């Protein structure tokens, strides 16, 4: 268990440069957000893996490149695209994860309203989950505003349908944006949570640096997840307008580690 950092904090900086910058903050656990087809080339991925290895950094998770197009390519009423993607884009993501040593693949899934019923979505996601499991990987559904996964009830139904193989990423800022209480959200879904994206918020902004001007009680949250025997990492995921300098990211990670 660690407090880590997502390469998404540095977007739109190129992915490999974001990985270097994350390492330079002193983070020892990172998430890598893929952003272009060329970034799946074997040598490109090997170079990123070497950067991480030389800095003593673990890659905990990879975020799919097509998070904004998954509704269209994977979860639309045109099912052929889903089966094509299973054999192409997902195999490429799995290869990347094996090279980087990552165990978790983060997905956004289907937007609202979407063109297929919940049960069809659950069935397809379950197929992807089983593919990942066969390779020792966890395919995780993230809660995201404006997606069906923004609803805790939807995620509960998804977990009940897929069963013990269902895994999810819990994102604090996304629950805030949806109007859901993060503590109640995490309590309800705790048995499925394998990975957590953290950030702070206040009355003016919903995604800011933790332990500075925010209102979120991280000690209470960490204690809650300890109660439920959470063993995963906490990944700091901000956007470029959510902080002013890399020193703030270092500060937040150090302060949060004191609370674990």
Q: What's the CATH number where 105 sits?
A: 3.20.20.150
List pLDDT tens digits, range 168-211: 999 999 999 999 999 999 999 999 999 999 999 998 999 999 99
State which H helix or E strand residue 197 sits in. Answer: strand 193-198
Q: Cα separation of 252 and 207, whole Å?
A: 13
In whole angstroms, give the CA distance from residue 160 to residue 55: 40
Residue 144, pLDDT score: 98
Categorize the per-residue pLDDT at 227 as very low, low, confident or very high, splitting at 50, 70 and 90.
very high
Q: Quick one: what percent of the chain has pLDDT higher than 70?
A: 100
Question: In the prediction, which pLDDT does 256 show?
Answer: 98
Distances (CA, A) of 100 to 97, 133, 135: 5, 17, 14
Residue-averaged pLDDT of the chain? 96
Q: State the residue range of the domain holding 218.
A: 3-259
> How many angstroms separate the most distant Cα atoms in the chain?
49
Question: pTM score > 0.95 for this model?
Answer: yes
Cα 143 to the chain's mean position, in Å? 9
Residue 257 Cα to chain centre, angstroms: 19
- Name, in order, each residue with C-beta under 8 angstroms of 253's C-beta and a sequence gap of 6 or more: 3, 4, 5, 25, 26, 27, 236
**Per-residue model confidence as pLDDT tens digits over 4-51:** 999 999 999 999 999 999 999 999 999 999 999 999 999 999 999 999
Question: What local confidence, expressed as pLDDT, does residue 68 receive?
Answer: 82
What pLDDT, on the 0 to 100 scale, is given for residue 158? 98
Residue 67: pLDDT band (50, 70, 90) is confident
Say which residues have a Cβ less than 8 Å from residue 248's Cβ, sequence separation at least 6. Answer: 209, 212
Q: How many domains does the chain have?
A: 1
Distances (CA, A) of 93 to 33, 106, 112, 130, 196: 11, 11, 25, 15, 20
Instruction: Please give the pLDDT value at position 4.
Output: 98
At residue 87, does pLDDT exceed 90? no
3-state secondary structure of 243: coil
């Amino acid at each position: 268990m660690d407090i880590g950092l997502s390469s998404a904090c540095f977007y739109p900086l190129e992915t490999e440069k974001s990985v270097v910058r994350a390492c330079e903050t002193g983070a020892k656990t990172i998430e890598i957000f893929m952003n272009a087809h060329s970034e799946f080339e074997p040598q490109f991925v090997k170079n990123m893996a070497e950067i991480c290895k030389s800095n003593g950094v673990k890659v905990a998770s990879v975020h799919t490149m097509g998070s904004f197009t998954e509704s269209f390519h994977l979860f639309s009423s045109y099912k052929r695209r889903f089966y094509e993607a299973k054999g192409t884009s997902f195999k490429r993501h799995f290869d990347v994860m094996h090279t980087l040593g990552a165990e978790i693949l983060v997905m956004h899934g289907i937007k609202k309203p979407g063109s297929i019923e919940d049960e069809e979505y659950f069935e397809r996601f379950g197929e992807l989950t089983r593919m990942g499991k066969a390779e020792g990987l966890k395919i995780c559904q993230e809660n995201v505003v404006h997606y069906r996964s923004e609803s805790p009830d939807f995620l509960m139904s998804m977990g009940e349908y897929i069963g013990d193989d269902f895994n999810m990423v819990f994102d604090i800022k996304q629950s805030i944006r949806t109007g859901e209480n993060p503590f109640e959200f995490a309590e309800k879904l705790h048995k499925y949570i394998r990975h957590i994206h953290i950030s702070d918020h206040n009355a003016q902004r919903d995604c800011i640096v933790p332990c500075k001007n925010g209102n979120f009680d991280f000690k209470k949250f960490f204690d809650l997840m300890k109660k439920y025997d959470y063993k995963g990492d906490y990944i700091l995921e901000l956007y470029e307008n959510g902080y002013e300098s890399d020193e703030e990211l270092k500060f937040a990670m150090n302060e949060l580690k004191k609370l674990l």
